[in-house]
Chain A
Amino acid sequence: MWDLYGESFNSRLLLGTSRYPSPQVMQEAIKASNVEIITVSLRRESAGNSDGKRFWDFVKNLDLKILPNTAGCFSVGEAVTTAHLARDLFETDWIKLEVLGDRLMLHPDPSGTVEAAKELVGEGFKVFPFITEDLVVAKRLVDLGCEVLMPWGAPIGTGQGILNPFALDMIRKTFPSISLICDAGIGRPSDALQAMELGFDGVLLNTAVSTSDDPVSMASAFAKAVEAGDLAYHAGVMTKRSIAIASSPFEGLADL
């Protein structure tokens, strides 16, 4: 079990809801991985269109915790207004805060993220800020009252894995009581396992599952990897050494 803003969950894998071959495949992938938290977005609705309602009806029937995001926002104002709209529509004060600063690499805007988080925390939102591995940005957000941080493994949708494990390790060691969710850039189950072995509390991913040849199997593989990494971290991963140490004792060797 782990806690996020006072709510307890069993699964440490969070899934996005985008780019699945069909809603049914998404539902099966969620079921196969025992995911309890999924992310959703807000986008323009065309007049006379019911796509949004159909999607929402489908998601509501899954009976999962909803984490709305501010994906695609490039300014503090956009992100804050999107958070207000999400709270009103989804009836939750949880918000995955994305304030981006670069359209090519979808790189988070550090100052914009901190500024938006300050406003939203002040309004009672439970903020899940998407950040890079920047320790000082993490510190500013924790100082504001964020109980969860979402550092990236790599840029969104790249599948590059954990590009800077040293920096993520520093964030873990600096904030032992903050919930850390590795968000974005995860391509393989071994990437998720690595994040968890570093002591992260959870992993959020989307593309690696939804665009795989078999999203249901891949979701299951990621769930197992996240669980294995969590078990390994708490069991205590051995320290690397620069010289060999025999596993079998030299004492008692026969003279052959």
Chain B
Amino acid sequence: MQKVTLNGKEVPMSNQMDLESFLFANNYKEKYIAVAVNKLSVPRSLLNTHLLKDGDKIEVLSPMAGG
């Protein structure tokens, strides 16, 4: 079983998952999220074509109050 890191926590992953499917499977079902993999932004339009690999570090962000 492969593993990736999702917002700082290690998570098991099936082989050859695209980012969109992975996020959906991990209960990220909202549309308004921004995602970075290995410190690089993955445009929302490419989430379903971006294939994850073992050891990837995924950050899922959303809008938040800020000054």
Contacts and interface: CB of A to CB of B under 8 A. Distances in A.
B23 to A, nearest CB: 9
A227 to B, nearest CB: 21
A44 interface: yes
A81 B62 contact: no
A19 B64 CA distance: 11
Contacts of B36: 81, 85
Interface in A23-59: 26, 39-48, 50-53, 55-56, 59
Looking at B31, B32, B62, which has the most chain A CB atoms within 10 Å of its CB? B62
Contact of B62 (A18, A26, A53): A53
Interface residues of B, number: 28
Looking at B33, B34, B60, B66, which has the most chain A CB atoms within 10 Å of its CB? B66
A236 B33 CA distance: 48
Contacts of A39: 66-67
Interface in B5-58: 6-8, 26-36, 39-41, 43-44
A17 B61 CA distance: 17
B65 A42 contact: no
Interface residues of A, number: 40
A48 B30 CA distance: 8
Interface of A is mostly: mixed
A45 B28 contact: yes
Given A50-B30, A52-B30, A53-B30, A207 B64 contact: no
A49 to B, nearest CB: 8
B34 A85 contact: yes
B4 to A, nearest CB: 13
A90 B35 CA distance: 13
20 contacts: A16-B65, A43-B64, A44-B60, A45-B7, A45-B30, A45-B62, A48-B27, A48-B28, A52-B30, A52-B32, A52-B64, A53-B30, A55-B65, A56-B62, A88-B34, A88-B44, A89-B32, A89-B34, A89-B44, A206-B67
Interface of B: 6-8, 26-36, 39-41, 43-44, 59-67
